[in-house]
């Protein structure tokens, strides 16, 4: 059953996804479109069942608030789960250093 949480996709997450799309498109328009479709499917999957995906260990607090879903096996779409909201905080390549994940905005959301 789908939760009644409000979904927020941070503007930074959208612009990051657009940059990734444009980057992939330079080599392969087909793969860029695949990335776009996988991104949208991933958001939908998380909205339907946010707690089944693994925690993002680089952002964990006392409670497991941050989780991620892989997009095309190479990109981590990181999100925060609370009782009221589901917030997509960023998307980073899996090969990036963990410090890049720690830079994701983790407070001051428009809830």
CB atoms within 10 A of CB 90: 22
The model's pTM is 0.85
Backbone angles phi, psi at 68, to 5 degrees: -145, 160
pLDDT number for residue 79:
93
Using DSSP's 3-state secondary structure scheme, residue 54 falls into: coil
Q: Would you give per-residue pLDDT tens digits along the chain (111 residues)? A: 454 789 999 999 999 999 999 999 999 999 999 999 999 999 999 999 999 999 988 876 666 689 999 999 999 999 999 888 999 999 999 887 666 777 675 555 554
Domains in the chain (CATH in brackets) are 6-102 (3.30.2310.20)
**How much is the pLDDT for 108?**
56
pLDDT of the residue at 62: 63
Predicted local confidence at residue 109, as pLDDT? 55
The H or E element that residue 76 is part of is strand 75-81
What residues contact residue 41 under an 8 Å CB cut-off, 6+ apart?
none
CB atoms within 10 A of CB 100: 14
pLDDT at 96: 78
Question: Which pLDDT value is given to residue 1?
Answer: 45
């Amino acid at each position: 059953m789908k939760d009644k949480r409000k979904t927020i996709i941070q503007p930074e997450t959208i612009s990051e996804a657009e940059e990734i799309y444009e980057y992939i498109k330079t080599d392969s328009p087909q793969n860029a479109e695949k990335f776009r479709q996988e991104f949208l499917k991933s958001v939908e999957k998380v909205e339907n069942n946010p707690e089944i995906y693994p925690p993002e260990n680089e952002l964990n607090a006392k409670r497991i608030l941050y989780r991620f879903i892989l997009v095309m096996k190479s990109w981590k779409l990181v999100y925060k789960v609370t009782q009221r909201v589901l917030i997509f905080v960023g998307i980073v390549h899996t090969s990036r250093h963990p410090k890049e994940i720690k830079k994701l905005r983790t407070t001051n959301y428009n809830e």
